[in-house]
C-alpha cells in the first residue's frame, strides 16, 4: 500500500493546481499527486482534471492539435502507479465533456485505466462507451494486456459486437491477441468468441491469429509490428488448451488456406508438450 501524502504536502500541491499559471510548476505538482497513489491526493487531482480551466493552464490547448505533454506525464504517472483510486479518477474524468474535447486525452486516460487490475464494472463501462465512440482500436490491446475477467469480457463484446467493421476487428485481433496468444485467460476468451457465431472474416482472423504468423501481410512495413511469444513460453495447461482448440477447429468448416497452419502449429505444440511429460 502506498504511504499517504503528508497533509502539508497535499495542501501545497493543491494550492499550486488551483492558482499557478506556471505550466512547469503545475505539471510537477500534478505528477507528484499522480505518483503518490494516495486516494486523497488522487481525489484532489481529479477535481482539477475535471475543469477545462485547469487543463488549459496545464497545457496550451488553444490549438486542438497542440502537444499535451504535461497531461501525458500526469497520466503516465497514473499508469505507472496504478491503484484502484487512479482507476476511479479515470472513470470520473471520462464523464467530463470538456476533457473529451481533445481525443488524445482519451487515449492517455484509457491507457492509465487499463493499467489497473482487475478492471472494475465502472471501468468496463468506460471501455464500452469509448469503444462505441471510436476508440475500439485503442482499447483492444489494452483490454487483452489487462487480462482481468471484465476486461476480457469487454474485448469479447468488442469483437462480437457492432462497434467497428469486420476488417477492423481482424486488425484488432492481430494486434491484441498475437502478443498474448500463450496466455490461458486470453485463449479462453478466444475460444468463447469462436463459439459466438462470428462473421467468417472475423472467425478466420481469430484462427489465423492463434495458429499462424504473417507479419508482412497483417501489418505491412511497420518498423515494430506485434510479435508472438515463443510457444515454449506457454504453460503446459495453455498448450493443452490450444491443442484441444485446434482439434475443434479442424473438425469444422475451415478455409483451405488456414488448415495447414492449424495442423502445423498443433503438431509443434504437441511436440513441446510431449517433451515436457516424457
- Tens of pLDDT, residues 41-70: 999 999 999 999 999 999 988 866 667 999
| Predicted pLDDT of residue 2 | 66
C-alpha cell at 7: 497533509
Percent of the chain topping pLDDT 70 = 98
Whether the predicted pLDDT of 1 surpasses 60:
no
Say what the pLDDT of residue 8 is: 93
How large is the C-alpha radius of gyration of the chain?
22
112-165 pLDDT, tens digit each:
999 999 999 999 999 999 999 999 999 999 999 999 999 999 999 999 999 999
3 pLDDT exceeds 80? Answer: no
| HEC-encoded secondary structure of 90-101 | HHHHHCCCCHHH
Question: pTM for the whole thing?
Answer: 0.94
Amino acid at each position: 500500500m502506498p504511504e499517504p501524502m503528508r497533509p502539508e504536502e497535499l495542501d501545497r500541491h493543491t494550492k499550486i493546481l488551483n492558482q499557478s499559471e506556471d505550466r512547469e510548476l503545475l505539471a510537477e505538482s500534478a505528477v507528484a499527486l499522480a505518483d503518490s497513489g494516495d486516494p486523497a491526493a488522487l481525489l484532489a487531482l481529479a477535481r482539477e482534471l475535471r475543469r477545462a480551466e485547469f487543463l488549459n493552464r496545464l497545457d496550451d490547448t488553444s490549438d486542438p492539435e497542440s502537444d499535451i505533454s504535461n497531461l501525458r506525464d500526469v497520466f503516465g504517472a497514473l499508469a505507472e502507479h496504478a491503484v484502484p483510486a487512479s482507476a476511479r479518477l479515470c472513470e470520473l474524468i471520462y464523464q467530463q465533456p470538456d476533457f473529451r474535447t481533445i481525443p488524445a486525452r482519451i487515449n492517455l486516460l484509457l491507457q492509465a485505466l487499463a493499467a489497473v487490475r482487475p478492471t472494475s464494472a465502472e471501468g468496463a463501462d468506460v471501455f464500452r462507451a469509448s469503444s462505441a465512440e471510436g476508440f475500439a482500436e485503442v482499447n483492444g490491446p489494452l483490454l487483452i494486456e489487462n487480462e482481468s475477467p471484465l476486461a476480457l469480457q469487454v474485448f469479447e463484446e468488442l469483437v462480437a459486437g457492432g462497434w467497428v467493421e469486420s476488417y477492423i476487428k481482424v486488425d484488432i485481433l492481430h494486434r491484441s491477441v498475437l502478443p498474448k496468444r500463450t496466455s490461458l485467460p486470453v485463449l479462453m476468451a478466444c475460444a468463447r468468441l469462436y463459439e459466438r457465431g462470428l462473421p467468417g472474416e472475423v472467425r478466420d482472423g481469430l484462427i489465423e491469429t492463434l495458429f499462424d504468423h504473417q507479419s508482412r501481410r497483417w501489418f505491412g512495413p511497420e518498423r515494430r509490428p506485434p510479435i508472438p511469444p515463443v510457444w515454449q513460453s506457454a504453460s503446459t495447461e495453455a498448450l493443452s488448451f490450444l491443442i484441444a482448440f485446434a482439434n475443434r477447429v479442424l473438425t469444422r468448416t475451415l478455409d483451405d488456406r488456414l488448415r495447414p497452419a492449424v495442423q502445423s502449429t498443433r503438431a509443434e505444440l504437441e511436440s513441446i508438450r510431449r517433451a515436457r511429460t516424457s
